[in-house]
Structure formats: structure tokens, C-alpha cells
Structure 1
Amino acid sequence: MEKNLAFADLLRLMDERSTAFQAAVAAAPSLEVQVPTCPEWTLFDLVQHLVEGRYKWAATVAAGPADAPATFSAPAAPREREALLTWFAGSVRELLDALREAGPDRGCWTWWGDSQSPQTSGAVARHQLQQLAVHTYDAQVTVGAPQPLSSQVALDGVDEFLTTCCAGTEPWPHKPVIVDYHATEGRSWRLWVSDGHTRTAELPQGTTADEAVERADVTAWGTAHELVMFFYGRIPAASLRTEGDQGILDQLHT
């Protein structure tokens, strides 16, 4: 049975996270408040980052197969809060419209090249949901009202991160290692890391560290939300339960 989110669900959840993001920005005392989880940014910077990304990916999806990202033109960022939120909402609509027009299987440029994620509009939708979800969490932390990612979004986020951001042909200047990730919601993944041949696969449901055919060099346990937040640098490895060489996690995710 397919465990990952369907294309229609990805678009629905992107719209939902967009609404939650706007609510957090609307509740902030100022657009100039610092974002604790992205300390180099103000809340205004966070909005601007998301808007520019939505327009970029809308143009890239609309362009179809290509060797480089599409050029795009985003409207200038307004400084007034209501106008800024309207600007943000417009960028999300632009991306959702482009994805609906393309459907899940259209080829397009992506930065993840030879990873286990395809270079398609569906894979873009999957990654962009995680971008919106994590940055919505950032905005909520900023206003003191963080809400964990739903299990639906977070479980897809763990799988998406491992297949898109970890699995591929990037150099690994260390000895080959095996890393296991267990979400308390009942799904587990294994990452085989070596120089230029990293790959991942989901383990059969209920697999424990002792039952695995080959023992992992390090194993991490947490909720799916915690795993996603660790992957994106929002929490340290010490926030997870680990067994084995925790230094491998630091090498992989910093």
C-alpha cells in the first residue's frame, strides 16, 4: 500500500500550511522580530524567502523539463503587514496553480538531480509542502505558539527528506555507515551512506534494531515531527533517543 501522500493531498496541505503561516505572521508583534529557529532572519525576511521560493518553483514547474531553473519575476515586497500577507498568499496560489496545471508526472528541473526523488512536478509538490510546513513552524515559534507538524505531514516529511536530501551521489569523506531512523508512529527507514552511493529504503513495519539483518552504526528514535525538525536543524541530535555513534548524525545533518 502506498504510504506517501497523494498529489491532491500535497496541494491541500500546502494550502492549509499557508493559512497557518499567515495566521502566525498576523499574530506577531512586529515584522522585525527575530525568528529563533532562523536567527539570521526577521519575520519579514522569512516571508520574503517563502514568497521568492513559491514564484521560483511555479515558474520552474510551468517550464517543464529543463537543464536549469526557470527565471521568474516576483512583485516587490510590501512593508505593510496586510499587504505582505496578500503578497504571500498570491505566491502560494501561483505555485498551486502551476502544480495543478502540470499534474504530478510532468518533468521539470530540480536541484536534487540523482537522488531517489524523481525530477517531476509531483516531487516538487512534496518538497514544497515540507518547506511550507517547517517555515510555518518557524513562524509559530516566533510568536510563542509552536504546533507540531501533523503525523500525516511529518511522516511524509521524513521519507521525503531521506530520499531527496540524503540519498544521492554527494561525496561522503568517511567510512561507509548505516543509519536507522524510527518514528514512534510506526514507520522506520534505513540509510546506507557511502561515497557517491548513498541510498535509503523504508524498513518493514515493526522492525527493531535487533531484528535488522545488518546492525546500524547509529539508530535514532523520535516522533516524525522530531525527526523532521532534526533533519532541518531545528533541534539537536540530543533531543532524540539514539544508540550507537551519534557523531555520524552530526556529520550527516550539519
Structure 2
Amino acid sequence: MDRTNETYFADVVSNELLTPHMRRIVFAVDGWTSSGIADEWVRLFFPSPGGEDAALPVSQGKGWSFPDGVPREGRWYSVRAIDGARLTIDIVVHESGVAAAWAATAEPGSRIAITGPDGRYGADVAVDWELIAADMTGLPAALRILAELPAGRRAIAVLEVQDAADEQPVNSAADVEVRWLHNPQHGHAPSLLPAAIRDLRWLDGSPYVWMSAEAAATRDIRSFARRDKKVPNGCAHVVGYWSMRRNTAR
């Protein structure tokens, strides 16, 4: 069930540079509960340029209103991990954007607003193996999915980062084959994921395909999975998290 019309205050507990191009922020959020979906996401509402205090927005269909009348920009982010009332969210480090700018200087005690979760991960029917693919924006969700796979499950993970220093440990009880792709122009040049996935030797049996990355890359693989590999709609969740053409995050 989509709970993204719920809103909560989120207070920064810690903020650290995880890799050269990924920052990890842990929030304390009272009353927030997980959807239980491995790729669940939330919307974060960042401070306005005027520096007003955080305020809980009210959903207005596709938009949001704030009790003090001052709008705050919102961005969608995956929940990397949950520990009681604490949520871990990883934010890509780059040269522009309201989220990256806020994350670069947010200190413990800083407060923003956050929504309830929603997610898509999960096949409609039993499958034999999984293909999990992501660029830097989808990496937090991909790593959480892999971490929650059960023993006995087979999976291939194709993960695109800027360079080797941005690789992270892949912890999973499943039998996972991991392929890292290094794209020094990540965010400024086409993704390496489509070519890598097209060249991949797919395992036998029925697959489940999950991918989150730049919009053009996901369109390519969505078409490839459904037309070339005949993956049913209910066994493929391929989502564009951002657009290089518009340079906007999901």
C-alpha cells in the first residue's frame, strides 16, 4: 500500500562520506514504519533557501502544501536500511542539486520532513533467479535487495559506479554473481548498463528483473527484457530514477 501521503519529522543522527561519491545519512524518525518492500522509497523535503524550520507538508494530489506557506523542494530516495526508529539513506555526491547541497553540510540535529514508504520489488510468480541492476542512484536499493535475498536464491548483480573506490561490499545469503561497471563519466555520459546486460549470459529458468538507473538506460533494458527475453510484466520492475536529458532525480 502506498503510504507516501504520510509525513514525519526526520532528525539527522549522523552524516558520513561512505565512498568518494556517496554520502550516508542516518535519521531518527518517530512513528515511521517500513512497508517491508526491499526497494522502498520515501520523499525527503529539504530546507527552503530562507532557512525556515522544517514543517510537515500536506499532500495535495500531485503536489504538497506547507502550513507556513513556504514551499520546500522534495526528492525521492531509497531506504538503505532500517534499525528501529532509525533510517539510513544514501545520497549520491555530485556538483549540483538541492539534496546533494543539503547533504554536504547537514549536521546531527538537523531536521527535515519525510514521507511514508512505497516500493515495487517482488515478482508476481515464482522465479528461478534474479537480475538486479543499478547505477549510483539505484545502488542503495540494489544492495538492500541483495542483502535480503534468502539462502538458495541465485542472482546476478550488475552495478555501475564512477570508479573502483565507489564499490561497496555486497552482503547476501544468496548465491550472487556481482559485476561492477566503472563509468568515470557517470551522470554526464550514457550508462554502461544496457550494453553489459545485453551481453550477459542469462541463467536457465525464469528470471525476475529489477533495475533502477537513468531513464534512457531503463527504457532500453525494459524493452530488451520484455521483447527479447520474454520476461512477463509481473516479473520485471525496471524504473528510471533520473533523466540525464533533464538532469533531474527521481
Higher relative contact order, chain-length normalized (CA < 8 Å, sep 6+):
2
Q: Answer 1 or 2: which has greater helix percent.
A: 1
Check whether TM > 0.5.
no
Q: Answer 1 or 2: which has greater strand percent.
A: 2
